[in-house]
Amino acid sequence: MVRVRILYASEHRSTQEIAERIGTRLRTHRHLVEVLALDSDPGRKALGQADALVLGSAVHDGAWLPVAESVVRGGAVRLRQQPVWMFSVGMSAALPKPLRRWADRVEQPRIAALVEAVRPREHRRFSGVIRREHLDRRGAVLFRLLGCRYGDHRDWAAIEAWADDIAGQLKELPALGPAE
Ligand SMILES: Cc1cc2nc3c(=O)[nH]c(=O)nc-3n(C[C@H](O)[C@H](O)[C@H](O)COP(=O)(O)O)c2cc1C
């Protein structure tokens, strides 16, 4: 059994629910899982207290939410020595197909820099939920002009498959001793 801590930053809950679903799935593989919001200074301490970490954030304006970016950047040296997985929750599935293909290929530079600082085992991108009330007027106009679709774009099968994949990799970790 591996102690896994899942830390997330979420503004409108879709990232939180993805983190919780990953946690539920890892528990079915008999891992000891905690799911915590990465929303305050204690989050920094939380980085060190598990055998493995899964870190995720909603993406706003091409970057992780500020608290997640700063906690993860601040802990990057330590994180590089731990088994870490990262995920970003954006809205590429809300885009019309040609734009989506382009968006899925393009790395957002601030996220790429964060991933490079941590060097996780893997960084996954998922789509989340986008609703009219999440956007200001300018954002909503742009959204409409680009032909985007509001809604819940989460692909739960892909999210669960990723959690299963992580669970498989956790089994390969060197013996970690009994959980406290
Ligand atoms: C103000 C704002 C800015 C956003 N900027 C981006 C972005 O740059 N790239 C992206 O892929 N998604 C962007 N999104 C979409 C969100 O990442 C997506 O809705 C996600 O599910 C939000 O997660 P949350 O529900 O956990 O807050 C933005 C959403 C909002 C409200």
Pairing of strands 151-152, 52-60: unpaired
Q: Are 153 and 128 in contact (CB under 8 A)?
A: yes
Please list the rounded mean pLDDT of every run of 10 residues in the chain (180 residues): 94 98 97 89 66 97 96 94 97 95 93 98 98 97 96 98 97 64
Which pLDDT value is given to residue 172?
87
Query: What mean pLDDT, rounded, does the chain reach?
Result: 92
Whether 157 maps to a domain, the answer reads yes
pTM: 0.94
Whether 10 maps to a domain, the answer reads yes
Whether 120 maps to a domain, the answer reads yes
Whether 176 maps to a domain, the answer reads no
Atom of ligand 1 nearest to the CA of 92: 11
Comparing CA positions, the residue from 149, 28, 162 lying closest to residue 91 is: 149
Q: How many domains does the chain fold into?
A: 1
Whether 177 maps to a domain, the answer reads no
Closest residue by CA, ligand 1 atom 18? 90
CA quadruple 17, 6, 44, 179: dihedral positive or negative? positive
Q: Could you give the CA distance from residue 87 to residue 85 in angstroms, rounded to a whole number?
A: 7
Which pLDDT value is given to residue 43?
52
Whether 121 maps to a domain, the answer reads yes
180 CA to centre of ligand 1 in angstroms: 37
Give me the phi and psi of 150, to 5 degrees please: -70, 155
Pairing of strands 32-37, 52-60: unpaired
Whether 118 maps to a domain, the answer reads yes
Q: Which two tokens stand for residue 85?
A: 């997985």
Q: Are 54 and 22 in contact (CB under 8 A)?
A: yes
CATH of the domain at 144: 3.40.50.360
Whether 52 maps to a domain, the answer reads yes
Residue 118 three-state SS: helix
- Give the position of tokens 């599935």: 93
- Give the pocket of ligand 1 (CB within 6 Å): 10-16, 58-62, 89-92, 128-130, 134-135, 139
State which residues form the domain around 43. 3-171
